[in-house]
Amino acid sequence: MTKLNSLTFTLASNNYGYGHLKRMINLNTELKINDIKNKIIYFSKKKIIDYKKSKKINFTQIDKFLSKKNISFCILDLSNRVFFKKKIFDNLISLFVKYRTPLIIFDDFSNKIWKILNIINQKSYVVCPYIYKNNFIKQKKKYFLNLKVGPKFAILKKISPQIKKNTKLKNILISCGGSDFKNLTHKLIIVLKKYKKLKVSVIIGPHFDKFEKIKINKLKSDNVKIFRNINNILPIAKKHDLAIISSGLTKYELLSINMNFAVISENKSFYEFHKPFAKKKLCYDLGYFKNSEKLGDKINFLINDYEKVFKSKIRKKLVDFKGANRIVGLIKNNFN
């Protein structure tokens, strides 16, 4: 079998978040196991970085990489409305058109990508490892013929499930991503500190606003513990009865270990994206933040009726840790 060579293009910054890069690092591990060579290149706020070398590169170098005949395919994990509007994104797309590069694209249903796939005329794939409305996917499949959808394509590190020992709520973990751009962590701590019998753990991401960090640190007490710059939330989450998280990819990680969790969305737009997941009754839904009083009421109900709330939750094995392996299967079957 011919050895495959590939490039991954993704995002990583306070503006874009770090979930894209984390996912591509996990996928890269599986590619390496399967003898598929892959270089990760990511766009920060103002620079283009070669991940392995931690070195700045430019478009001339990217052009040279793609011009090599041994590049079998490229992976794009770039889905971000702000990034899509930048000229740098258009320049990158023009290179794929120039070299007719086969693509594996994560989370991108944009018209621009649809047109590019038609121009490239190669067997490319769009992968969306989330829960969507059925009608939405039905419509997208009319245009994106090679569409792979659902949590079975989620790229997660394998970890054993949580073994539930407590039926009563004793400790809660708060995690609102790497940057928490809506400052939900502080708001959640304020609400939960009122429950003196509960132990609260808080994860402060590496890109929190410095003033928010100061405010959160002031809330540290005997029943509020703070963790910083955690690479993997799952080993910590497993030690808690409940996690309250923002509406990103973490919910799929927690689902994979059968964790009880509640989701608060950062705004109405994020909530609309999260809604199909919430309707599956896989978590307790806190909606999106409107004001502290309404948030307090919802959390009060959750805490007082904890056993009842999660007893009624439908537990489905939607995540099996084989997502990366399935994607590698697509690669081997189509890009050799």
pLDDT in tens, 115-148: 888 888 678 999 999 999 889 899 999 889 899 9
Give percent of the chain with pLDDT exceeding 90: 64
> Among 233, 246, 238, 320, which residue's Cα sits nearest to residue 283?
246
- Counting residues of the chain whose pLDDT is more than 70, the rounded percentage is 97
Q: Convert the pLDDT of each residue in 52-91 to its tens digit.
A: 999 999 999 999 999 877 899 999 999 888 888 899 999 9
The residue among 85 and 244 whose pLDDT is bigger is 244
Asked if residue 70 lies in contact with residue 49, where contact means CB atoms within 8 angstroms, the answer is no
Does residue 260 have a pLDDT over 90?
A: yes
Question: Would you state the pLDDT for residue 2?
Answer: 56
> How sure is the predictor about 31, in pLDDT bands with cuts at 50, 70 and 90?
very high
At residue 309, does pLDDT exceed 80?
yes
At 205 the three-state DSSP class reads coil
| Closest among 156, 154, 206 to 177, alpha carbons compared | 206
Q: How confident is the model at residue 248 (pLDDT cuts 50, 70, 90)?
A: confident
The confidence score (pLDDT) of residue 37 equals 95
Residue 139, CA distances (Å) to 119, 142, 202 in order: 21, 6, 40
Q: State yes or no: pLDDT of 300 exceeds 60.
A: yes
Torsion angle (degrees, nearest 10) of CA 281, 283, 284, 286: -110
What 3-state DSSP class applies to 61? Answer: helix
Is pLDDT above 90 for 289?
Answer: yes
Does residue 272 register a pLDDT over 80? yes
Burial bucket for residue 263 (CB in 10 Å: 0-12, 13-18, 19+): buried
Q: Which of 113, 99, 106 is nearest to 130 (CA)?
A: 106
- Residue 281 region by backbone torsions, left for phi larger than 0, else alpha for psi between -120 and 50, else beta: left
Q: 203 in helix, strand or coil?
A: strand
**Stretch 35-56: mean pLDDT, rounded?**
94
Instruction: Name which residue leads in pLDDT, 14 or 279.
Output: 279
Q: What is the pLDDT of residues 139-176, one digit of tens each?
A: 999 889 899 999 999 998 888 887 765 578 999 999 99
Query: Residue 232: what pLDDT?
Result: 84
Q: What rounded mean pLDDT belongs to the chain? A: 90
Structural tokens at position 15: 């503006």
Average pLDDT for residues 296-308, to the nearest whole number?
A: 94
Determine the pLDDT at residue 206: 80
